[in-house]
Amino acid sequence: MYIAAPSILSADFSKLLEEVKDVSTAKFLHIDVMDGHFVPNITIGPLIVKSIKGKVDMVFDCHLMISDPKKYTESFAKSGADIITFHYEALNSKEEILDLIDYIHSFKIHAGISIKPNTSVDVLDEEILSKVDLVLVMSVEPGFGGQKFMENSLPKIKKLRELKDKFKYNYIIEVDGGINKETAVLVKKAGVEAIVAGTYVFKSQNRKETIKELEKDF
């Protein structure tokens, strides 16, 4: 069974809690945080996370698309994030990456790392993969919802699955961007475990059925 992670980027923010409750049959709630610098858009901050924490029984999967993830880690952790995922491209060295993973773990929550479509999966070496709890493969350019799925994400997912199986790593393989009924099957076949979907879930006529579709085997 797969993990469905509805992205609140596509929710109606005028009734956010109602929207979140409506997709609460999913295990994860994907929370896209954008700073207007690392990506062009600006979305939400820790106060929004705090306002909905405890109102639904979901794992809060916070994806920090921001230039200085370490600066905001504590505030998101204390606001209710269960997973904090930062971007490989936001940091300058492997030492910074490993330090941030440890820092996130110091709050007793899970650490994830994400790579953009033009970043090779090979930048994630054994030291990184052995420490992270989640690897997020972007199948669109981060920053906007509703983009078309990029198939160059599939070999990355396959490689991460091969490495996980070979070395018994513990990370969850997650994908984000351009998910619909057809692309969900493609990423499942490639070896993904958690599927982020914004437009596909929130614009669906039957959100619960769409979540079930994402969760079931292909």
Which residue, among 214, 128, 218, has the nearest Cα to 170 in the 3D structure? 128
The alpha helices in the chain, defined as continuous H runs, are 16-22, 46-52, 69-79, 94-105, 126-129, 153-167, 181-190, 199-202, 207-215
Please give the model's pTM, rounded to 2 decimal places: 0.95
Please state, in angstroms and rounded to a whole number, the distance separating the CA atoms of residues 61 and 5: 8
Catalytic residue among 35, 61, 133, 176: 176
pLDDT at 100 > cutoff 70: yes
* Start-to-end Cα distance in the chain: 10
96: tokens are 């910074």
**Cα angle 175, 179, 183; round to 5:** 95
Judge whether 122 counts as a catalytic residue.
Answer: no
Catalytic residue among 22, 32, 82, 99: 32
CATH number for 3-215 (one of 3.40.1000.10, 3.20.10.10, 3.60.20.10, 3.20.20.70): it is 3.20.20.70
Q: How confident is the model at residue 60 (pLDDT cuts 50, 70, 90)?
A: very high
Judge whether 176 counts as a catalytic residue.
Answer: yes
**Can you give the pLDDT at residue 40?**
65
59: tokens are 């794992």
Give per-residue pLDDT as tens, 8-52: 999 999 999 999 999 999 999 999 997 677 776 767 889 999 999
